[in-house]
Structure 1
Amino acid sequence: MSYILYYAPGAASMAVHWMLLELGVPFETRLVEIDSGAQHCEEYLRLNPTGRVPTLVVDGIPRRESAALLMLLAERHLEAGLAPAQSAPARGEWYEMMVYLANSVLPAMRNWFYAEEDGDPKYADAVKAFSREQIEGSMEYLDGLLSDGRSHLMGNQLSTADLLAVILMRWTRNMPRPATSWPNLARYIHRLRAMPTFLELNAREGLTEWMNPRTR
């Protein structure tokens, strides 16, 4: 199995980068400098015609969409246990959660950050206001899931849903109400940010924001 990840620091590719580290498999990375427009260059568009990250080259074939890549990696590395077994009752919940994050939370996040670029600028404020409601509603829902004392979204076991959710929560850090303002999410985030692979991920991507406070 061979993997090459095309990524941009802090982007949706971060969840896939994190999963590769968690799996402990060999992989290569290729930085896509979004600020310079590298995602729109001819070479990259041959790999990903949408001009977005991530792209994961899997055994020579480019694959796209962060949620799909997480699910694909979970299927290819069943031994890691980052998805419930096919026969497990939680399998259906896992599908639901992954699609929820991909179809509801991710698009709302994009609308919040790119309302002016993706649509008519005169409607940007309205789009952002609606997106904020969607995002905060999603955080409320996820906070409620964790209110039963579970350590992870799928119960007490780390899954792809956690990797994607935490990266989405990271994106709220400068929003009017960040994810850390919900009590159950704050505890959940603190726990996952302490994971060695999360620390390594941030080091590799050169990120220093949104880390747990240092303890002496």
Structure 2
Amino acid sequence: MYTLYFAPGTAAMLTHLVLLECGVPYELKAVDLAAGEQRSDAYLALNPGGTVPTLIVDGAPHGETAALALLLTERHPEAGLAPAVGAPDRAVFLQWMFYLANTLQPGFRQWFYADEFVPDSAEAIAEAGRQRIEACWERIAAHLDNHGPHMLGETFSVVDLYVVMLMRWSRNMPRPATDWPSLAALATKVKARPSWKTLYEREQLSEWA
């Protein structure tokens, strides 16, 4: 049994989706970000960064959404969400997982929380974030155009879940990810999966369903 500390619509979505795809038992514990619960002593004892998700695995807390996704695919290989170690497409899989975690996802922090960096330059930082995000969509769309329809070709994987979660975050941006046809097609595929529909029910989400 896993326990997932989450807030609806956050990076915890990826962990939640992977749990659902793996078909394993888990418990959800909501963290009220608006009330500052992520900064409480009790939560910081689990996740010193004060972020979500936190996943309790064998009684121990762990964080970082990309790391948790990799961990779950390793613990539940029967779900087929990642190439096995040594498989020909393992390198491509790892490349995209780290690209999303290290290049695309941080761009959203620039966009949404620009004033946390340099308050006097928030507008410029947000604009840099927007440009960074759109450049990432260009690169991912080009990859899908040449190697799709999924990020690993014909094979669905956790990378697709990660991409579409981040696509959702762009839904109200000046140029959302769905402006790229191959990305829009990938989102349609992922959003049709039972895991996406179940997550929306359990997290009580409605936007971009």
TM-score (norm 1): 0.94
Q: Percent identity?
A: 48
Alignment correspondent of 1:164: 162
How far apart in 2 are the matches of 1:157 and 1:87? Answer: 16
How far apart in 1 are the matches of 2:118 and 2:148? Answer: 42
Q: Which runs of 5+ in 1 are unaligned?
A: 212-216
Secondary structure of 1:34's counterpart equals coil
Alignment correspondent of 2:142: 144
Number of positions where the alignment pairs a residue of Structure 1 with one of Structure 2: 209
The root-mean-square deviation of aligned C-alpha atoms, in Å, is: 0.9
Alignment correspondent of 1:153: 151
TM-score (norm 2): 0.98
Alignment correspondent of 2:122: 124
Matched AA of 2:185? R
Q: Is the 8 A contact 2:149 2:182 kept in 1?
A: no
How far apart in 1 are the matches of 2:75 and 2:40? Answer: 30
Matched AA of 1:135? I
Secondary structure of 2:34's counterpart equals helix
Alignment of 1:14-33 (within 5 A): 14-33=13-32
How far apart in 2 are the matches of 1:94 and 1:192? Answer: 17
Secondary structure of 2:100's counterpart equals helix
How far apart in 2 are the matches of 1:163 and 1:191? Answer: 10
Deviation at 1:87, TM superposition (A): 1.9
Q: Is the 8 A contact 2:104 2:136 kept in 1?
A: yes
How far apart in 2 are the matches of 1:53 and 1:158? Answer: 25
Deviation at 1:44, TM superposition (A): 0.3
Q: Which moved more, 1:185-194 or 1:24-33?
A: 185-194
2:8 matched to 1:9? yes
Deviation at 1:149, TM superposition (A): 6.0
Alignment of 1:1-216 (within 5 A): 2-116=1-115, 118-148=116-146, 150-211=148-209
Deviation at 1:133, TM superposition (A): 0.6
Secondary structure of 2:113's counterpart equals helix
Matched AA of 1:99? F
Provide, for residues 160-205 of structure 1, a one-character-per-residue CA deviation record: whole Å limited to 9, x for no partner. Answer: 1111111111000000000111111111111111111101111111
Q: Which runs of 5+ in 2 are unaligned?
A: none
Q: Which moved more, 1:147-156 or 1:127-136?
A: 147-156
How far apart in 2 are the matches of 1:50 and 1:41? Answer: 11
Deviation at 1:150, TM superposition (A): 2.0
Matched AA of 1:176? P
